[in-house]
Amino acid sequence: MLTCKEFLSELTDYLDEKTSSELQAKLQRHITECPNCWVICDTTKKTIQVYKGMESCTIPEDVHERLMAAVERRIAAAKERA
């Protein structure tokens, strides 16, 4: 059986379903026999899920306005040069 440390080192690939089927079977066997690793695996999976559902990021309005104005100036200058 895998040790908990070995299980944890493969956790990211396991959650992303990137392991070979042989390793995946070993990892699955480990969590059916180790309640702690089952909890870590389950709560890490939920961690990723809650962040996926996070509100889309926002940009402060003043930052947005300055960016648009600056880009507009650049484009105008580039057109003048051309």
Partner 1 sequence: MATGAVPTAPVEAPSDELDLVARAKKGDGAAFSVLINRYEGKIFRLAMNITQNREDSEDVLQEAFFKAYEHLDQFQGNSKFYTWIVRIAVNQALMKLRKRKSDRTISLDEQIDTGEDMVIREVAAWDPDPEERYSREEMNKILTEAIDGLLPIYRTVFTLRDVDGLSTEETADALDLTVPAVKSRLLRARLQLRDKLTRFFKRKGDDAFAYM
Nearest-approach distance from CB 5 to partner 1, in angstroms = 8
Nearest-approach distance from CB 35 to partner 1, in angstroms = 9
Contacts of 11 (CB under 8 A, 6+ apart): 40, 41, 44
Could you give the 3-state DSSP secondary structure of residue 20?
Answer: coil
- Would you call 19 exposed, middle or buried from its count of C-beta atoms within 10 A (0-12, 13-18, 19+)? middle
Give the binding-site size for partner 1 (rule: CB under 8 A).
44
Interface residues with partner 1 (CB under 8 A) are 4-5, 8-9, 11-13, 15-16, 36, 39-40, 42-44, 46-48, 50-64, 66-68, 70-72, 74-75, 78-79, 82
